């Protein structure tokens, strides 16, 4: 019984550790995941300019919800819709161009 519990806890720590990367240094491109570093940093810049005030500099949430695992909830198309149309308490971000919306939603869809 106890061993089983330890294994579960240990597993959870590993998972949390693996996802905990990020850090607060926005300037460095972590290059991570399977999106190219270039796309990621372009997306990060769009995010910073248009979304970070409400969703936090590291996607951790502020007035708006945490987006760190938004990709497990929505696919890129749905995220693009939310950006362009808004949702609930979020106003439409129509200042973001179609191209930037696509870059940004592809990047966010990888966050799971």
Residues near ligand HEC, by CB under 6 A? 50-51, 53-55, 63-65, 67, 70, 73-74, 79, 82-83, 87-91, 93, 96, 104, 108
**Beta carbon of residue 72, minimum distance to ligand HEC (angstroms, whole number):** 10
Nearest Cα to Cα of residue 96 among 49, 38, 41: 49
Tokens of 24: 């607060």
The residue with its CB nearest to ligand HEC is 88
Q: How far apart are CA 112 and CA 83, in angstroms?
A: 18
Q: Evaluate the CA torsion angle 93, 97, 103, 106 in order and state its sign.
A: positive
**Beta carbon of residue 6, minimum distance to ligand HEC (angstroms, whole number):** 33
Nearest Cα to Cα of residue 47 among 72, 16, 79: 79
Judged by beta carbon, residue 41 or residue 93, the one nearer ligand HEC is: 93
Judged by beta carbon, residue 23 or residue 89, the one nearer ligand HEC is: 89
Judged by beta carbon, residue 36 or residue 62, the one nearer ligand HEC is: 62
**Beta carbon of residue 26, minimum distance to ligand HEC (angstroms, whole number):** 15
Question: Where do we find the tokens 């939603």?
Answer: 105
**Beta carbon of residue 74, minimum distance to ligand HEC (angstroms, whole number):** 6
Distance of alpha carbon 61 from the chain centroid = 10
């Amino acid at each position: 019984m106890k061993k089983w519990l330890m294994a579960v806890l240990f597993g959870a720590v590993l998972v949390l550790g693996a996802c905990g990367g990020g850090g607060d240094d926005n300037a460095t491109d972590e290059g991570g995941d399977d999106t190219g570093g270039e796309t990621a940093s372009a997306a990060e810049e769009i995010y910073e300019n248009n979304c970070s005030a409400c969703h936090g500099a590291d996607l951790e949430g502020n007035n708006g919800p945490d987006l760190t695992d938004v990709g497990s909830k929505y696919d890129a198309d749905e995220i693009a819709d939310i950006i362009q149309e808004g949702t609930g308490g979020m106003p439409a971000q129509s200042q973001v161009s179609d191209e930037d919306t696509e870059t940004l939603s592809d990047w966010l869809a990888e966050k799971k």
